[in-house]
Structure 1
Amino acid sequence: MRSEPPDGPDALREKIIGLGETSLHKSYYPELQSRLAELERFRALLDQTYDAIFLIRAETGKLADVNAAVRAYLGYSKKELLATPFADLLSPQQKAGFVELIRKKSDLPSECRQTCTASLISRAGTEIPMEITVRSVTFGGEQYVVAIARDITDRIRTERELKIKESALESSTNGILIADLTGAVMYANRSFALMFGYGEEGAITGRNLEAFFTDPTVGEKITGRLLDNHAIVEEMIGLRNNGSPFHIQVSGSVVQNDAGQPLCIMLIVMDITWRIYTDQMKQETYAQLGRNIEQFAILGDHIRNPLQVIVGYAEMLDDPVAGKILEQSRRIDEIITELDRGWVESASVRQFLRKHGDVAEPSEPGVLRISIPKKGDL
């Protein structure tokens, strides 16, 4: 007779479905549960990251898996994404280049990584600039490419703003210098280099502030005052690279971080040599003009003195010509009187004299008045 198996049909069935005492399922079940829990934790971590993670089949270029960030960025469901080749998510201009990158990447060792910049297209058609790092991996004998994409929209905007600010500094007609808290120069724009007679901005980097002033102690004083008061505006004497002095106006401030801590010192320098020269010329001109006006008043009196003699002689003549002499003398006196009144009583001249304190306002001169009889009184 055929021998019966040691276990009956029911016992064998229980072994197969994992209910028997010696079930292999029971032996591996705790480890299986542990592995599943570990995978769930890992999936949860991947879904919490802000980076978009793509698992791409190297052979077909289709997506094998994505994390939650991919769905949040692009607005597609996971089912839609898994039916889409990764290249279709890229901007058309960058698609061919990235496909070639993935092809090359699948032939390289898994330790080798490569980073590039590309834009992903969302469901709404929005381009999202991404920095994408790719590497090849192997699961179960199948080749994959892992792409980790990070949104760099804020970084691009910040870089653009920094570029604009840097261009503004470079194009400024004023000299701009940035130094650390010890006074060592970290940056100088081209205008500063030209103003102080240096061939290029790099020749200034590393120098101390004291190198740019005739008084070497000024650099240390500026640093100290800025750290105490955080801002200054002063006129000083600068020192060019060839040793020649010139007049400058320095506006300084302390650059601080968000916590209010000083980071560096910024100076804005203007060459005011021409302004100083112009102011000096103005002062000299105003003073000379005041002297000329006073001299004019004196000359008026000097003209009247001989005119008085002429009038005296004309009055003693019994001749019709004497009348004409007196008439012309009277006209000369009236002209001089009008000139006197014009410069003394003119509102513009008085305002000029009051505005410029270096020019003394003359008092009303003691004008010699000539009494000249009219022709009818002779």
Structure 2
Amino acid sequence: MSMHSEPPNGRDTLREKIIGLGETSLHKSYYPELQSRLAELERFRALLDQTYDAIFLIRAKTGMLADVNAAVRAYLGYSKKELLATSFADLISPQQRAWFVDFVRKNDDLPSESRQTCTASLVSRAGSEIPMEITVRSVTFGGEQYIVAIARDITDRIRTERDLKIKESALESSTNGILIADLTGAVMYANRSFASMFGYGEGGAITGRNLEAFFADPTVGEKVTAHLLDNPAIVQETIGLRNNGSPFHIQVSGSVVQNDAGQPLCIMLIVMDITWRIHTDQMKQETYAQLGRNIEQFAILGDHIRNPLQVIVGYAEMLDDPFAGKILEQSRRIDEIITELDRGWVESANVRQFLRRHGDGAEPPEEAFLCLWK
């Protein structure tokens, strides 16, 4: 036996250590750590599978998928085996995949941990397109370069943005002035009609101003704000103030915008320029007053005609002449005409009173029009 050979006891000890029977065996030293690492990986895999984001691990050189989480299979409808035989670019809508191809092409020149975010649609197995916000990131594992892509479904966000754009377009296209202010009265938004009505170039020029700047009486803005904090709505006619300082008549309808919990968020005002209506009402009042004066004057003129007519009738009755009968006959006709005019003036006065009471929306009685026509 050689001098350098291991003693029998030494060889047995080494053998037991290798096969895991000794007290300090390699198996006993590394197996618990390996089990711990595997358990940790399983927990991490479970966490990835619970997220709503679709996560792709892509081989940088080939663009083929190396791994995916459960959300990917749920969104796209492919099995994991099918996905691992597919390139990530093939899952992107053909019209939108150029950005990813370009990212892969430049991957070698990009610094480690470089990232890019883009909006694109992923195509499911059924052929439907799912809008996604996709963030791709270059990483290195075990000396091999990969790309991690995290895709988030933005269908609801796109729908919400579209609804907001529709509502914003509706506000902008309104012919009434619309203004939104915070609870202190500071303007947050004004549409084009409001800006034009008050003589501003655009709605943005109004943002930040206080409500008091748009009323001839500055205290009106404070009163409107205070009223709306205690009441759900307000409708008020007042005097507005244009940017050049000129006043004009406006009607303000206001309400408080609340969140789902009923808490006030902001104040919305709808403003109408009622200058034309106010001037029209003033003209109507002046017309009614003039009509009253005319009716009164017509009644006086009727009396003035009857007085000399009675004198003529008196003299005619005293005459013993064949022409006296003609004079009396014509006098009676004149009296009948004056009586008819009196009746028409009385009816005209009734029409005037009716219009005063009921305004433009009501129709005068038909007989009133007949009397006016006569």
Q: TM-score w.r.t. structure 2 length?
A: 0.86
Residue in 2 aligned with 1:363? none
Q: CA deviation at 1:280?
A: 0.9
Answer with 209-218 or 318-327: which moved more: 318-327
Q: Which runs of 5+ in 2 are unaligned?
A: 360-374
Q: CA deviation at 1:234?
A: 0.6
Residue in 2 aligned with 1:76? 78
- Deviation per CA, 1:36-86: give whole Å up to 9, x if none: 000000001001111000111111111111101111111111111111111
Q: CA deviation at 1:176?
A: 1.7
Partner-residue secondary structure (3-state), 1:260: coil
Q: CA deviation at 1:146?
A: 0.4
- Deviation per CA, 1:192-230: give whole Å up to 9, x if none: 222222233232222222222222222222211111113
Aligned length: 357
Counterparts in 2 of 1:294 and 1:30: CA distance versus 1, 3 Å? same
Contact 2:295 2:349 in 1 (8 A): no
Residue in 1 aligned with 2:367? none
Q: CA deviation at 1:13?
A: 8.6
Residue in 2 aligned with 1:364? none
Q: Distance in 1 between the 2:349 and 2:112 partners?
A: 90
Residue in 1 aligned with 2:254? 252
Aligned partner of 2:85: which letter?
A
Partner-residue secondary structure (3-state), 1:59: coil
Residue in 2 aligned with 1:273? 275
Residues 1:318 and 2:320 are matched in the alignment: yes
Residue in 2 aligned with 1:31? 33
Residue in 2 aligned with 1:356? 356
Aligned partner of 2:226: which letter?
G
Q: Distance in 1 between the 2:76 and 2:177 partners?
A: 47
Counterparts in 2 of 1:105 and 1:337: CA distance versus 1, 3 Å? farther
Contact 1:106 1:136 in 2 (8 A): no
Matches within 5 A, 1:175-186: 175-186=177-188
Q: Distance in 1 between the 2:73 and 2:232 partners?
A: 49
Q: Distance in 1 between the 2:36 and 2:63 partners?
A: 32
Q: Identify which of 92, 97, 106 aligns with 1:95.
A: 97
Contact 1:57 1:144 in 2 (8 A): yes
Partner-residue secondary structure (3-state), 1:356: helix
Aligned partner of 2:149: which letter?
A
Q: CA deviation at 1:10?
A: 11
Aligned partner of 1:98: which letter?
F
Contact 2:298 2:345 in 1 (8 A): no
Q: Identify which of 169, 172, 177 aligns with 2:171.
A: 169
Residues 1:218 and 2:220 are matched in the alignment: yes
Partner-residue secondary structure (3-state), 2:106: helix
Q: Distance in 2 between the 1:126 and 1:6 partners?
A: 73
Residue in 2 aligned with 1:362? none
**Matched-pair identity in %:** 88
Aligned partner of 2:63: which letter?
G
Residue in 1 aligned with 2:333? 331
Partner-residue secondary structure (3-state), 1:27: helix
Aligned partner of 1:194: which letter?
S
Counterparts in 2 of 1:349 and 1:80: CA distance versus 1, 3 Å? farther
Aligned partner of 1:339: which letter?
L
Q: TM-score w.r.t. structure 1 length?
A: 0.86
Aligned partner of 1:219: which letter?
G
Answer with 194-203 or 20-29: which moved more: 20-29
Contact 2:302 2:338 in 1 (8 A): yes
Q: Distance in 1 between the 2:51 and 2:149 partners?
A: 14
Aligned partner of 1:27: which letter?
S
Counterparts in 2 of 1:174 and 1:96: CA distance versus 1, 3 Å? same
Counterparts in 2 of 1:35 and 1:161: CA distance versus 1, 3 Å? same
Q: Distance in 2 between the 1:321 and 1:105 partners?
A: 126
Residue in 2 aligned with 1:61? 63
Q: Distance in 2 between the 1:111 and 1:44 partners?
A: 24
Q: Identify which of 40, 43, 57 aligns with 1:41.
A: 43
Q: Which runs of 5+ in 1 are unaligned?
A: 360-378
Aligned partner of 1:206: which letter?
G
Aligned partner of 1:276: which letter?
I
Residue in 2 aligned with 1:130? 132
Contact 2:171 2:191 in 1 (8 A): yes
Q: Identify which of 203, 206, 213 aligns with 1:204.
A: 206
Aligned partner of 1:112: which letter?
S
Answer with 308-317 or 121-130: which moved more: 308-317
Contact 1:58 1:103 in 2 (8 A): no
- Deviation per CA, 1:3-36: give whole Å up to 9, x if none: 7995999999977665566542232110000000
Aligned partner of 1:353: which letter?
Q
Aligned partner of 1:174: which letter?
N
